[in-house]
Amino acid sequence: MAAATVTLCPICNAENPAAASSCGTCGAPLSGDPSSAFSGALPPGTKLQGGVYSIGKVLGQGGFGITYLSGDIRARRAVAIKEFFPYGSTRRGANVHPFGGLSAADYATTRTKFLDEARILARFDHPSIVDVYGTFEENNTAYMVMELLRGKSLGQLVDERGPLPEREAVGYVEQVGEALEVVHATSLLHRDLKPDNIMLTDDGNAVLIDFGTARTFAAGKTGRMTTMVTPGYAPLEQYGQSVRFGPFTDVYALGATLYHALTGQMPATATDRASGVELASPR
C-alpha cells in the first residue's frame, strides 16, 4: 500500500486502510480521543520494555492495578497488560510510588507477590482461566501481560438483561467453578471473584479474569493477607487480616455471583448477614 492509503494502528502498529475505523489486526479504534479519566494511568502510546509493548486505552482499574488494552509489537497482536498500581499510589513521570500508608518495603513485597503469582497463573492451561503470557518489571512497578478477551463481563450482561434464566446462570458458574478447582490445587486464591471479573467471550466461554489480588494460602492455617473487600461478594474472613483463608473464600464469592446473576441484585454484605440480615429468595 502507498503511504497515503494506510493508517497505522496506535496499539499494534498494523497497517489498515485509511478509511478503516478499527484495526483489522487487534480491533483497536483508529480515531477518537484515547485518553481516559482513570487515576494515574499511563498515557496512550507509552512504550514499555524498549518498545516491545505499546499502551492503549484503560480497560479497567481496581484496588491493586490498572489494566490497559495494549499491543505486543513483536507478535503483532493485541494483549491486555495489568500494571501493579495499588490504590492511592502516585506517578512521577512513568514511575509508580506507593501511597503514604504503604511503606517502601511493604510495597516491594506486595509487588514481588504480584509477580510470583502471575508466574503461577502463566502455567495454567484452562479454557476458563485467562492466559498469562509473561511478566516484567519497569517504572518501579510490575506488569502482567495477558490474553485479550473479546466479549462482555457477566456483570454487564446482567445489567443489560436483568436476572438470567437458571440454566444459563448455573452454566457460567459451573465453568468458573471448574477453573477454581485448578487454581486452588496450586494453593492460590483469587480473592476478588465477582460478576465483573467473569468474562463471557464471544465463543461462549466464561473466563475468570483479574488475578491481580490473588494470594497463596496454607490449608488449615491462619495467615495474614492484605485486606481486599468487594462488598456483597467478600466473605466475612476477608474483612480481617490474621484469619483463616481457603478455597471456601472464593466459593462464597462464587455463590454470591450466582445470586447476583439470578436476581439482578448484589447480595447483602457478609457483615450485614452476620448481624441478621436475610437474603431475599432468588425466585
DSSP result, 36-88:
---TTPPPTT-EETTTTEEEEEEEEE-SSEEEEEEEETTTTEEEEEEEE--TT
Is residue 196 among the annotated active site residues?
Answer: no
Q: Find the catalytic residue in 131, 192, 196, 210.
A: 192
Instruction: Take residue 124 and report the three cell numbers written for it.
Output: 495454567
Q: Which residues contact 238 (CB under 8 A, 6 or more apart)?
A: 191, 227, 228, 229, 245, 249, 270
Q: With CA atoms as reference, report the closest residue to 214 among 158, 150, 157, 146.
A: 146
The sign of the dihedral angle between the CA atoms of 68, 69, 74, 77 is: positive
- What burial class does residue 236 get, using C-beta atoms within 10 Å of its C-beta: 0-12 exposed, 13-18 middle, 19+ buried? middle
Joined together, the cell numbers standing for residue 212 give 491481580
Residue written as grid cell 481486599: 228
Residue with cell 517502601: 104
Rounded to 5 degrees, φ, ψ at 52 are -70, -40
Residue 156's alpha-carbon distances to 62, 106, 232, 248, 262, in angstroms, are 16, 35, 17, 26, 14
The answer to whether 221 touches 240, Cβ cutoff 8 Å, is: no
Q: Name the residues annotated as catalytic.
A: 192
